[in-house]
């Protein structure tokens, strides 16, 4: 597999990720209690639509189709956002969970664009570098904005009283079981480091 083929796969992954976010961002905007955070999600939705269009242009430049790869990583990150939304309450702690999901999403995208840019630069694909850099810069700015918005939300959340824990859902029990399995599998390798 050539480096250009790897780049095409990575770009298809990013294209899938951005298209998934076009569907997910309105749900995050609607689900949050914080007006500033909701507006950030709405604004980033418009940026994300522009990123999809830019990626289409990149594929056109490369003479390739944008489809053909589903981004399972973004699907998982979006699923975490859905989990946060399902815990829906009207307090700041709820919004803190949404902030965590939003930042994971942004950093996933940032890593993807950084990898694509490194490959495009190595291949000297000058017509591709500009649009990818623009997408990366928008993701970096979006992460900074979510982080800035989180300051007030986290202050409010830290002042909220602790609430009684509700019984775990089947999904939460499954997640806890998988987490224990992950820990158990990693324990052997971690002990080797000591």
- Kindly tell me if the per-residue pLDDT of 177 is higher than 80: no
- The Cα–Cα gap between 48 and 139 comes to 9
Q: Which CATH superfamily is domain 3-163 in?
A: Ferritin, core subunit, four-helix bundle (1.20.1260.10)
Name the average pLDDT for the chain: 89
- Kindly tell me if the per-residue pLDDT of 185 is higher than 80: no
- The Cα–Cα gap between 43 and 29 comes to 10
* pLDDT tens sequence across 44-62: 999 999 999 999 999 999 9
Q: Judging by beta carbons within 10 Å of its beta carbon (0-12, 13-18, 19+), is residue 83 exposed, middle or buried? A: middle
- Residue 129: its pLDDT value, please? 98
Calculate mean pLDDT across residues 58-67.
97
Calculate mean pLDDT across residues 156-183.
73
CA nearest 3: which of 93, 122, 163? 122
* pLDDT tens sequence across 73-129: 999 989 888 877 777 667 788 888 889 999 999 999 999 999 999 999 999 999 999
- Domain-wise residue ranges, the chain: 3-163
């Amino acid at each position: 597999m050539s480096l250009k083929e790897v780049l095409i796969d990575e770009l298809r992954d990013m294209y899938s990720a951005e298209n998934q976010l076009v569907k997910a961002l309105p749900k995050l905007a609607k689900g949050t209690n914080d007006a500033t955070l909701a507006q950030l999600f709405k604004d980033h939705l418009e940026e994300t639509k522009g990123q999809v269009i830019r990626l289409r242009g990149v594929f056109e430049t490369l003479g390739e189709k944008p489809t053909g790869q589903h981004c399972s990583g973004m699907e998982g990150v979006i699923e975490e956002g859905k989990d946060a939304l399902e815990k829906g309450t009207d307090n700041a702690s709820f919004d803190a969970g949404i902030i965590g999901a939003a930042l994971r999403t942004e950093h996933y995208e940032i890593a993807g664009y950084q990898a694509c840019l490194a490959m495009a630069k190595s291949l000297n694909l000058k017509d591709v570098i500009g649009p990818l850099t623009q997408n990366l810069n928008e993701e970096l700015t979006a992460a900074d904005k979510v982080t800035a918005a989180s300051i007030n939300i986290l202050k409010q959340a830290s002042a909220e009283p602790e609430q009684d824990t509700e019984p775990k859902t089947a999904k939460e029990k499954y997640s806890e079981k998988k987490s224990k399995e992950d820990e158990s599998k990693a324990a052997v390798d971690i002990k080797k480091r000591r």
